[in-house]
Structure formats: structure tokens, C-alpha cells
Amino acid sequence: MTQLLSEMVQTVLGWLFKIIGLRQSVRVLCHRAFLLTNGPECYFINVTNLSPQRDAEVTHVWVACGNDIHVLNPSRPLPRRLRPEESWETWIEVNKVPPDVREAVFDLVRVRLSNGRVIKSKKNENVPSAGFVPGS
């Protein structure tokens, strides 16, 4: 009973902090697409700071599989500070991911923030057919 009450209090406090802007909220989405019309196929990892008032700093991005694959993209150096409601994206080529985890990558990407918090990705289901990479 005490555990349940504790979880309820944490949930309510999380909602309150989010409402008043004290809680840091970051979303990580992943989708598969081509970098350019004839470029390599990649997994694109989009990180959005949903906090209306707090910055978020991304320090690490990786694919959490048997041997973690760190996303080290010279075009998108880390660490990266995101202002409130700012989006940033990086990518890793599909051929750098083992074939047996390629279909699961959408849920295997991890992003570490400067406060030590690790956020899990979700598959991005609403991707435009063409566009720009945020944070260039």
C-alpha cells in the first residue's frame, strides 16, 4: 500500500512540475529514411526539449543492443544544449547497425542528458516525405 501511495504522489508531483515548468521533459523519436535522394539510408534520431522554461543538454546518443553502438556524428557534435521547445536531430547509417536489430532500433535508441537521465526512444510515426534536419 505504501508503494502504491508513493507512486501516486510521484505521478501527481510530475504532472504539477510539468504544468508549472519545473520538470524537464525531453522526447526522443526515431525513424528510417534516406539522407538525400541518392544518399545512404539512415536512422534519424530526433530529440525535442518539451520543457517550456528549462534547457536540456544532450551528452550521449546510442543504440542499446548487445554491444552498444554510439552515434558519433561529426555533423552533429555532442554535447548539444537545447533551448526550451527546441528540436535537434542526428543520424546513423543503417549499415552500421547489425541486421538482427534493425527492425527494433526505433525502440533501442537512448539519449543521456547532462543530469544523468537516460531517455528511451519511440518510433516516429508522423514523418514528412521530405524535409530538413532540425538543428543544423
DSSP string, 15-40: HHHHHHT-S--EEEEEEEEESSTTS-
Q: Are 3 and 28 in contact (CB under 8 A)?
A: no
User: Percent of the chain beyond pLDDT 70?
Assistant: 87
91 has a pLDDT exceeding 90:
yes
Write down the pLDDT at residue 66: 85
Mean pLDDT lowest among 14-18, 98-102, 124-128: 14-18
Write down the pLDDT at residue 4: 76
Residue of 122, 127, 132, 128 lying closest to 29 (CA atoms): 122
Q: Tens digit of pLDDT for each residue in 27-39?
A: 999 999 988 777 8
Buried b / exposed e along 95-126 (16+ C-beta atoms within 10 A):
eebeeeebeebbebbbbbbeeeeebebeebee
Name the strand (E) or helix (H) holding 109: strand 109-113
CA dihedral 112, 117, 121, 126 (to 10 degrees): -100
State the average pLDDT for the chain: 88
Write down the pLDDT at residue 17: 65
The C-alpha cell at 130 is 521530405
The β-bridge relationship of strands 26-34 and 122-123 is parallel
pTM across the whole model: 0.80
Write down the pLDDT at residue 21: 55
**Residue found under cell 534519424:** 44
22 has a pLDDT exceeding 70:
no
Give the domain 24-123 fold. Answer: Immunoglobulin-like (2.60.40)
